[in-house]
Amino acid sequence: MKTLILEIKGNSLDDGPGIRTVVFFKGCPLNCIWCHNPESKKAVIELSWDKKECIACLSCAKVCPEHAIDLKYQNFVDRKKCTLCFKCVDVCPSGAMSTVGKPMTIDDIMQHVLKDKPFYDTSGGGVTLSGGEPLLNIPFVSELLKQCNNNAIHTLIETSGYFNWNEFESCIAPYCNTVYYDIKLIDEEKHKTYCGVSNTKILSNFKKLIHLSQSMGIHVVPRIPLVPGITATEQNLTGIAKFLHDCGVDNVELLWYNPLWPEKCMKIGNNAKVDETLTRWMPHEEYERCKKLVSGVTITL
């Protein structure tokens, strides 16, 4: 059994308690326009071109069978012509051309995970499954969680909440210690516009998870990614705060907006136009304003 992995990052201090290994899965059922990991969206191996690393030797252009590489193309590669043969990657001397995504087995992943076990044990850390959406492939993730459990490794899943509840309840919940659960937009139509799907399943799964967590001892942390003018609005934040309150939840984490995603988009050939407000870091005062809007629930930082 293999699945596509974007990256495995060791020694992380930002993705849960203690020192952690973060496994980023590739593929997501949502299509959030501000996704800070845009290269994790598609469940296929992609081609990346990094302008900063390129030495303009044109070795890649010489071997491309589709003549898809030329300085005249925006971002160097004509993605409509490219057939993802990756011959350009093999000859690139600087690493500017690279593949994004690697099929891995559970044993492959566990080899990475187990070598840092002493760090988890001394720091109260463990393994975080992120993405993309890890719960897109529940049978694989279930098996991976079981292996972590067998090795006494703490497990945390970061999810968009867009998963099959019955499979989650039977195959994931028994093996998962903590869930970081993103709630982005409370309005269904806005959720469809900015994230590509309805939020009905996400909100319904959240309610069921809160109920289940009480009997199974799963720690659930709801999170709101702050996106200027989209999620970081008064209407949205007070709406989510009310939803959480109605669910009996008294904590929420606000995620500071990260404006670095457009550069990542360009590397994989996505040249979407970006609104000016989304190209800047969020000012501290704006973050404080957002905190006040969800003040009915305690903020976890």
Binding site for ligand SF4 (CB under 6 A): 47, 49, 54-60, 64, 66, 68-69, 77, 82-88, 91-92, 94, 96-97
- Taking every pair of Cα atoms in the chain, the longest distance, rounded to a whole number of angstroms, is 61
Q: CB of 260: closest distance to ligand SF4 in angstroms?
A: 21
Residue showing tokens 């993103």: 182
Minimum Å gap between C-beta 83 and ligand SF4 is 5
CB of 52 to ligand SF4, least distance (A): 11
Nearer to ligand SF4, 33 or 85 (CB): 85
Q: For residues 91 and 63, what is the distance between their CA atoms, to the nearest angstrom?
A: 8
DSSP class of residue 278 equals G
SS3 sequence of 111-180: HHHHHCHHHHHHHCCEEEEECCCHHHCHHHHHHHHHHHHHCCCEEEEEECCCCCHHHHHHHHHHHCCEEE
Q: Which is nearer to ligand SF4, 87 or 112 (CB)?
A: 87
Of 81 and 207, the one with the shorter C-beta distance to ligand SF4 is: 81
Buried b (16+ CB within 10 A) or exposed e, 270-292: beeeeeeebeeebeeeeeeebee
Residue with Cβ nearer ligand SF4 (20 or 26): 26
Q: At closest approach, how far in Å is the CB of 54 from ligand SF4?
A: 3
Point out which residues pair with 222 in neighbouring strands.
181
Min dist. Cβ of residue 89 to ligand SF4 (A): 7
For ligand SF4, the closer CB: 83 or 204: 83
